[in-house]
Chain A
């Protein structure tokens, strides 16, 4: 049928939005910050100390057991949280959702509390699994609520999610208070990489793996991001892709939660900024979101370590301040346009 279409020699295609220059710049900043992150801290770990001390020195020991794990954890958490936000945005078809504005984080935190209460001696992997199951439950509940309440208004959907999170969060606080676990709760709800050490951060690799999974399924997520009708027309099993997306979001949320605690706004801000730069084709935007998310968190982590040197302030405070400002800018910018 299409053979009837007139063929002609292919014309040179004008450049698609790739922005290679900006990409390289982000990569370079990421590299510099990652290296800086290795050498910032109270103890003397400097290239010089490493060179003179050799592999058995205390500097090398610190590098391997603390600084490298911390840097890796920061990078993976930053990269994956942006992806979790992106996938939530595709599932809900709303730019202003992420695990933190949909109750998913609160559900996962409740899962952490429950595992601490009922199985206090549980290994971290078990806690993470419970948190992931609760995160999955949270995603499911949110999707059901959004579907039941036909709110298509851009800002109303995350409001529903924040209310849902508020309800779940208050239940968590109530039981934590009753069971004298408020301190643990405070630790989870305030993201910080200060206690990351070798042997205590490896679960964040699961979040990293999810980034790769998301990238492989990128086209499917792009398609479901255009709606169920659209996806069905292209022969895609909408529900299955949604289910895969939910699992990715839950695993990322849970593994970051057990590693560092809650890091707010990231999943919201980074995908939106990337959307402005390069658009919403997930195949192209996922590497950008991962890279920019990692830059964002590592920069905040370095600031958190330097502001009150030699003390640290919680990373989530820095992320919250910068993230909230960026988020406001995105909101106002949107209002400034025609609609």
Chain B
């Protein structure tokens, strides 16, 4: 479990996380939603030991993020941040191999290579494995990063807006993939999403944040209601049932 206990973070007097206490890890896919500046990325930063909170503590499977060895945490928790505009000319294979770094420290064993091969295969990147990242399309590149995280072989995978800049087909592809990773591989995926309909369709649990606080935390059925979504996003949202599934309409 990833347990946050009274976590607060301020930037120049502005509160980004306000005594957040929440636990992740019981469900396969958890979607983290909320307007810009709600504190979602900061929350990921704090869990991924990239940002040090002013108050509170974060524990991953019982070990405190602030004191645990970073290299040990890297074997249970993988965080993929938003801005992966990596300028380096690396091949897909190179990138996925770096995912094994916490285990191999750069000296790849047979087991490591096996993990790399399987991750590449799982993400259907076999044909691209020797392509440079800057030669790939946005969707392929995003898959390459997810393959890296998969090769890292962690129980928890945190993805910050993995659907950014992707077209419809690739968005759906990535969400199905995250679902499969949770169902087939037992991963615990926590994903920041802006499209609430994707969140409702593919996740087991939706956590909504606003102004640095968790304002709603439940299954899709309870979150996908006009009054809840309007309170979260401060905009008019209509919710209809289509084929038995709630669909939010916010295109007024």
Contact = CB atoms under 8 A, between A and B. Distances in A.
B90 A235 contact: no
A234 interface: yes
B94 A279 contact: yes
B89 A5 contact: no
B91 A279 contact: yes
Contacts of A4: 184-186
Contact of B74 (A93, A226, A233, A279): A233
B101 A234 contact: yes
A237 interface: yes
Interface string B92-122: 0110001101100110000000010110011
A64 B75 CA distance: 54
A44 interface: no
B70 A232 contact: yes
A17 B130 contact: yes
Interface string A200-235: 000000000000000000111011011111101111
Interface string A285-324: 0000000000000000000000000000000000000000
Contact of A280 (B90, B130, B184, B186): B90
B241 to A, nearest CB: 34
Nearest to A283: B106
Contacts of B74: 233-235
A144 interface: no
Nearest to A226: B86
B91 A233 contact: no
Give the size category of B's interface with A. 35 or more
Contacts of A229: 48, 50, 79, 81
Interface string A95-118: 100000000000000000000000
A17 B135 CA distance: 14
In the complex, which of the residues A15, A17, A234 has the most CB atoms of chain B within 10 Å of its own CB atom? A234
B88 A222 contact: yes
Interface string B116-146: 0110011000100110100000000000000
A16 interface: yes
A90 to B, nearest CB: 9
Contacts of A5: 118, 122, 184-185
Contacts of B87: 93, 95
Contacts of B225: none
Contacts of A16: 91, 93, 130
B42 interface: no
Given A281-B90, A281-B94, 11 more contacts: A1-B187, A5-B122, A13-B129, A16-B130, A17-B91, A229-B79, A232-B70, A234-B74, A275-B89, A279-B91, A279-B94
Interface of B: 48-50, 69-75, 78-81, 86-91, 93-94, 98-99, 101-102, 105-106, 115, 117-118, 121-122, 126, 129-130, 132, 152-153, 155, 184-187
13 contacts: A1-B153, A2-B115, A2-B118, A4-B185, A5-B122, A13-B129, A95-B87, A219-B105, A230-B86, A232-B48, A234-B99, A235-B74, A236-B70
